[in-house]
Amino acid sequence: MTDLDLSNDLDRQIELQDLRTLVLSGKALPPERFRQLLNAIREGRDNAQRLASASKKSAKKTLAAKTPIDLSTLF
Amino acid sequence: MTASGSLLLERFPFPHVLDNTMYELWKTCPHKFFRSTVQGLKAAQRDPNTGALLTVKNIHLHFGGALARGLEVTRKTYLAEGNQGDAIQDGAAALLAFWGSEPLPPPTTRNEENKTLEACLLAHDEYFRAFPLDDPQHHIPSPDHVEVSGTAPIPGVVHPFTGEPILYAGRFDAITSRFGVLRGLDDKTTSDNVDSDRWRSKWTLAGQFTGYTWLAQQYGFPIEGFLVHGVQILKASLKFGEAITPRTPFHVNTWLAQLCFDVQMMLRQYGAFIQSVEDDNGEWTDPPHPFAQRLGDACFHYMRKCSFLDDVCDTPRPADFIPNAFVVERWNPLARSIDE
């Protein structure tokens, strides 16, 4: 089977659960499905990393865009 | 020996075999060693449905155990059959089998959150990209050099009931030969930065590796120290690092002399404990406890509260609480992992 769509978390979890059940029932791990699952996990992780770093950059930009406080007005 | 004396020894047996985990426990807090190793207490929670006391799985140990199992099977399969892809596949299946189907307790820290089955499968796969099986830097001579274990009598100490030697036991991941230099190999999952001097220098004098070196030498493997492979588990990435930590005869002799001294001290503490409770129905009441309570950093160790803090050390009558918060489950260093 090579055409599974594992592009979202839920599909990936279901596939992982299926493969776990196979192994726990004493059957062999299907190489192609397992490789596809690993790639999907890796892709999901990389996307999460990209999102996290994009949101960090955007937070930095927002902070830099704020007007600096004129300290003389505080005293 | 009186009947009550023999019951006492059944409730509080001194171990016949010690390993690094038990020894480290004693060094951290002798009282924790006493409660977990001599008394055999393991923290448990009541099942709300059945009312039974059940031990709680430790996420870090479960993750580390599953990864170790996957790495072990991968190495053994590769050394027997020679195909890296098939070996990694077999290792992943063993990892999944080890992980099992029972749910883990909900994570309580960010480090625990990162230790998912998905992260474990990725760590297993990417480990062999960082340390390829066919790389001469990571050469393991034969399947017999994977999951090395052994015991040796600790010189000069005997068991207080049997008079037999007390054994020291150890198990580590592999013996490697890097261009002819034999070293032990131990894989460590960690949240520390494995690229840092801080992480590498953690192992400089680690008794765990000196003890394994001594044991390996007793079995005729002339290893000269250890390679530590660090697997850093982050939320969205994994990092791999290596520390090389040599062991000379100086290190081994110093460690062994200290071990002998410390085990004699444990036995003195044990003798004093048995004597102090013999006429008191086995319940200890008057401080100080012969297995000293550290009452300091040890009560909050590795970013978590000691499991004996609330129901044992922070109460004047621990015997009232122990039956509702612990089960008796002794660690046996000679037992293989649960899946074998």
Contact B89 A31 (CB under 8 A): yes
pLDDT at B327: 96
Q: How far is CA B160 from CA B15, B280, B282, B306, in A?
A: 10, 21, 18, 29
In the predicted structure, residue B2 carries a pLDDT above the cut 80: no
In the predicted structure, residue B96 carries a pLDDT above the cut 80: yes
Give B-chain residues touching A31 at CB under 8 angstroms.
89
Give B-chain residues touching A6 at CB under 8 angstroms.
none
The mean pLDDT of B299-325, rounded to a whole number, is 91
Nearest to B119 by CA among B55, B196, B59: B59
Nearest to B168 by CA among B217, B126, B236: B217
Closest residue of chain B to A44, computed from CA coordinates: B236
Q: How much is the mean pLDDT over chain B?
A: 93
- A42 lies within 8 A of chain B by CB: yes
A-B Cβ pairs (cutoff 8 Å, strict): 44
For chain B, state the CA radius of gyration. Answer: 21
Q: How far is CA B241 from CA A4, B41, B119, B120, in A?
A: 34, 36, 17, 17
Which H helix or E strand runs over B77?
helix B59-81
The mean pLDDT of A50-73, rounded to a whole number, is 74
For residue B175, give the 3-state DSSP assignment. strand
User: How many angstroms separate the CA atoms of B151 and B142, rounded?
Assistant: 21
In the predicted structure, residue B336 carries a pLDDT above the cut 90: no
pLDDT at B339: 31
Contact A48 B96 (CB under 8 A): no
In the predicted structure, residue B67 carries a pLDDT above the cut 50: yes
pLDDT at A48: 83
Q: Pairing between strand B304-305 and B300-301?
A: antiparallel
User: How many angstroms separate the CA atoms of A19 and B230, rounded?
Assistant: 28
Restricting to B residues 91-130, those with a Cβ less than 8 Å away from any Cβ of A are: 92-93, 96-97, 99-101, 117-118, 121-122, 125
- A49 lies within 8 A of chain B by CB: yes
pLDDT at B324: 93
* B317 neighbors B43 (Cβ within 8 angstroms): no
Contact B122 A42 (CB under 8 A): yes
Closest residue of chain A to B114, computed from CA coordinates: A45
Convert the pLDDT of each residue in A6-18 to its tens digit: 878 899 999 999 9
Q: A42: burial class by Cβ within 10 Å (0-12, 13-18, 19+)?
A: middle
The mean pLDDT of B65-87, rounded to a whole number, is 97
User: How many angstroms separate the CA atoms of B328 and B321, rounded?
Assistant: 14
- Identify the residue among B118, B127, B128 best suited for mutation to test binding to A, counting A beta carbons within 10 A and taking the highest: B118
ipTM field: 0.80
In the predicted structure, residue B338 carries a pLDDT above the cut 50: no
Task: Give the DSSP letter of residue A6.
Answer: -
User: Within 10 Å of residue B159's Cβ, how many Cβ atoms?
Assistant: 16
- Identify the residue among B121, B129, B234 best suited for mutation to test binding to A, counting A beta carbons within 10 A and taking the highest: B121
The mean pLDDT of B184-191, rounded to a whole number, is 96
pLDDT at B340: 31
In the predicted structure, residue B328 carries a pLDDT above the cut 50: yes
pLDDT at A74: 63
More confident residue, B302 or B156: B156
Whole-model pTM: value is 0.89
Contact B118 A28 (CB under 8 A): no
Q: How confident is the model at residue A53 (pLDDT cuts 50, 70, 90)?
A: confident
Q: What is the DSSP string of B267-302?
A: HHHHHHHHHHHTTTTT---SSSPSS----SGGGEET
List the Cα angle B12/B16/B21 in 5-degree steps: 90
C-alpha dihedral over B279, B281, B284, B285, to 10 degrees? Answer: -90
Convert the pLDDT of each residue in B259-296 to its tens digit: 999 999 999 999 999 988 887 667 787 889 999 999 99
For residue B52, give the 3-state DSSP assignment. coil
